[in-house]
Amino acid sequence: MTIALVTDSNAQMPAVLRDRFDVRVVPLAIVLDGQEYHEGVDLTTEEFYARLAAGATVTTAAPSPGEVLAAYQDAIDAGATQILSVHIGSNTSATCNAVQIAADACGVPVEVVDTGTASFAVSCCVWAAADALAAGAEIGAAARAARAAAATVGNVFVVGALDLPRRSGRLGTGVTDGDGVPVLALADGQMNAVGRAATIEDAVQAMTDYVEREARGRELRVGVGDALSPELAHALADAMLERLEVVDLVRYDVGPSVGAHTGVGTVGACFF
């Protein structure tokens, strides 16, 4: 019995994890000034942020059921007899609706995991499922591993443009109060302040401090992402590797479906 893993592009999954776990990624739609693109397919991160900086209007949309079904069929053609489909939360996106329609029409059993989260936290859920499968788990146990990761995955970040999450209603109460740049964590679709930073060094320390508090000495798998701010991301990755019990760390780009709500200059980490 062969189990395939499928996710969506909001997971921001880098090639190192896609290749390691043979994950198929369904692209979300990114609409710039009325023209539709597919995240990770026909729109690069650099092109997106250049258009955003030039004042383009941006919206995002879920994939169609047909696009999800195409990914399932590709997995079936490659020998899959079951599919574990792990996605951005239905509290944030309509993606899971399209996924469920595709799953119902698929020719093999599909287990759908609505993670209730977004961005690289979704990749963390896929990562947990893949680890379970590698250890010999059946699809139900792997799905439970993904859901357990969804319940415990943490995140921390600084955004490049606070006006973007404010416009979308994702900025928590009091985030802009006080001096310095707010250090944020996303929970239940809201970005809430967990610290403040006056300098880049302060931001790295505040983010690492937050992860250290949340980890409580446990071993971590970590993704460090950035929106065209590789130096800050590198400093954050180094600090986490130095101070925390990190068993694996990967870097990823903050792509359009996340960057549309955070802006260029965003840097952060997800961990489980």
Joined together, the tokens standing for residue 163 give 């006006």
Q: Same structural domain for residues 132 and 242?
A: no
Residue 182 maps to a domain? yes
Ranges in the chain, pLDDT < 50: none
Per-residue pLDDT at 114: 98
Per-residue pLDDT at 169: 66
Q: Same structural domain for residues 195 and 264?
A: yes
Residue 141 maps to a domain? yes
| Spatial distance between the Cα atoms of 271 and 219, rounded to a whole number of angstroms | 10
Residue 40 maps to a domain? no
Q: Same structural domain for residues 230 and 185?
A: yes
Per-residue pLDDT at 153: 97
Q: Same structural domain for residues 138 and 176?
A: no
Which among 145, 146, 80 is positioned nearest to 117, based on CA atoms?
Answer: 146
Give the number of domains in the chain.
2
Per-residue pLDDT at 253: 97
Per-residue pLDDT at 178: 76
Burial of 162-186, coded b for 16+ CB within 10 Å and e otherwise, reads: bebbeeeebbbeebeeeeebbbbbb
CATH number for the domain spanning 102: value is: 3.40.50.10170
Residue 12 maps to a domain? yes
CATH number for the domain spanning 180: value is: 3.30.1180.10
- Cβ-contact 228, 2 below 8 angstroms: no
Range of the domain at 103: 3-28+63-152
Q: Same structural domain for residues 123 and 182?
A: no
Q: Same structural domain for residues 79 and 192?
A: no
| Spatial distance between the Cα atoms of 64 and 47, rounded to a whole number of angstroms | 24
- DSSP letter for each residue of 22-45: TEEEEPPEEEETTEEEEBTTTB-H
Q: Same structural domain for residues 123 and 213?
A: no
User: What would the pLDDT profile of 134-162 be if each residue is shown by its tens digit?
Assistant: 999 999 999 999 999 999 999 999 987 77
Residue 142 maps to a domain? yes
Q: Same structural domain for residues 195 and 124?
A: no
Q: Same structural domain for residues 167 and 117?
A: no
Joined together, the tokens standing for residue 201 give 């060094």
Query: Among residues 125, 152, 179, which one ends one of the domains?
Result: 152
Q: Same structural domain for residues 16 and 129?
A: yes
Residue 44 maps to a domain? no
Calculate the average pLDDT of the chain.
94
Query: Among residues 90, 123, 152, which one ends one of the domains?
Result: 152
Residue 50 maps to a domain? no
Residue 224 maps to a domain? yes
| Spatial distance between the Cα atoms of 34 and 19, rounded to a whole number of angstroms | 33
Handedness of CA 156, 162, 164, 165 (dihedral sign): positive
Q: Same structural domain for residues 12 and 99?
A: yes
Q: Same structural domain for residues 165 and 256?
A: yes
Query: Among residues 97, 122, 152, which one ends one of the domains?
Result: 152
Going by C-beta distance under 8 Å and a sequence separation of 6 or more, which residues neighbour residue 115? 86, 87, 88, 89, 121, 122, 125, 146, 147, 150
| pTM of the model as a whole | 0.94
